[in-house]
Amino acid sequence: MAMDAERRQAELIEQFSAQAAALSSSAPQLAALVLEATSHPALFAFSELLSLPALSKLAGTQYASSLDVLRLFAYGTLKDYKSNSGTLPALLPDQVRKLKQLSVLTLAESTKVLPYDQLMQELDVSNVRELEDFLINECMYSGIVRGKLDQLRRCFEVQFASGRDLTPVQLNNMIDTLSDWLGTSDNLLHQIQDKIKWADTMSEVNKKHQKEFEDKVEEAKKSIKEATTNGVDSVKYLPAFPLVEVLTPTLRHFGTIVEETRHQLFRVLPLKRVFVIIVTLLEKILVLVRDVKEITLTVAFVCR
């Protein structure tokens, strides 16, 4: 439904833009076109019409007030009109209804719970029945808002509201916000790339240490096998340095990995990389336990 409404808005804007281009040489007809556009029951966006070169020609003419009306419907509310009614032409009933609808959209931008008292004041409505009829018939049925009327709490709970035209100030603020977001995203991307490089480096270090560890284990196994050829008595006095030499640097290395990982986890690091590091650490611990168990069982068997 929202897509259909947006498509309808685009069609109407295109239609009025084409008419304005065709009437660019006639100020009275352009003023009449503004009146038609601001009275149309399905059109709620006017900034594109306001920026048309054909309509800008009304500035400085006796029809310049039509531009002010168009600007009011693009960015203003009924309250704004009442504050400047002395400099603006009188509005038709259809225009007043449209301006009230736009006023509801403006209020819905800042809060999703609109008190009845505030709505009655902003829309110049004298009683709750009239207000609820307007919200139902002119706002919800037209599709510009969806919500719930809460008579007990005397408020209108907004669930959806169409967006209004952005003022130049709002547009500049949005551009600044998006620029800041882009800068933050670039910084985050650089940090992620740095962490990826760190993870790759740690992976290479781990591979190198794994090779050294396997060489030490093989050396320890070879020493035990050589010792078994000398008999049990010799095995009893087998130096412990091969096992110690294997375990000491390994445990130190794991301590370094754990400490590095602990620091990195408190920084920006892709979850996938964190998982890879943890899995790699666990795999190496399992390999260490397996090899130590194998060496221990071998020594115990030989010493019996």
What is the C-alpha separation between 135 and 159, in angstroms, rounded?
Answer: 13
Per mean pLDDT, which range of 46-60, 69-83, 90-104, 259-273 is the poorest? 259-273
Residue with tokens 């209108």: 156
Q: Would you state the pLDDT for residue 8? A: 86
Q: Would you state the pLDDT for residue 209? A: 84
Residue of 49, 93, 41 whose CA lies nearest to 72: 49
* Domain ranges across the chain: 1-75, 76-165, 168-303
| Average pLDDT rounded to a whole number, residues 188-211 | 87
H or E element at residue 159: strand 155-161
Burial class (CB in 10 A: 0-12, 13-18, 19+), 144: buried
Q: Identity (one letter) of the amino acid at 163?
A: G
Contact 114, 107 (CB under 8 A): yes
CATH fold of 76-165: Arc Repressor Mutant, subunit A (1.10.10)
The highest-confidence range among 16-30, 66-80, 206-220, 288-302, by mean pLDDT, is 66-80
Q: Would you state the pLDDT for residue 237? A: 42
Edge-first strand listing for the sheet containing 145-150: 113-115, 155-161, 145-150
The alpha-helical segments, DSSP class H, found in 111-167 are 116-123, 128-134
| Average pLDDT rounded to a whole number, residues 230-254 | 49
Residue with tokens 């409404």: 5
Q: Identity (one letter) of the amino acid at 27?
A: A
Q: Convert the pLDDT of each residue in 144-197 to its tens digit.
A: 999 999 999 999 999 999 989 988 888 899 899 999 999 999 898 989 988 898
- Per-residue burial over 233-254, b if 16 or more Cβ lie within 10 Å, else e, is eebeebeeebbeebbeebeebe
**Does the pLDDT value for residue 214 go beyond 90?**
no
Per the model's pLDDT, the better-predicted residue between 253 and 161 turns out to be: 161
Contact 35, 92 (CB under 8 A): yes
Q: Convert the pLDDT of each residue in 32-63 to its tens digit.
A: 999 999 999 999 999 999 999 999 989 988 99
Q: Would you state the pLDDT for residue 159? A: 95
Residue with tokens 């795999």: 283
β-bridge mates for residue 145, sequence order: 161
Q: SS3 sequence, 231-251?
A: CHHHHHCCCCHHHHHHHHHHH
Helix/strand/coil percentages in the chain, nearest 5: 75, 5, 20
| Average pLDDT rounded to a whole number, residues 287-295 | 64
The highest-confidence range among 215-219, 264-268, 273-277, by mean pLDDT, is 215-219
Q: Would you state the pLDDT for residue 96? A: 96
Inter-CA distances, 234 with 111, 231, 239, 302, Å: 87, 6, 10, 10
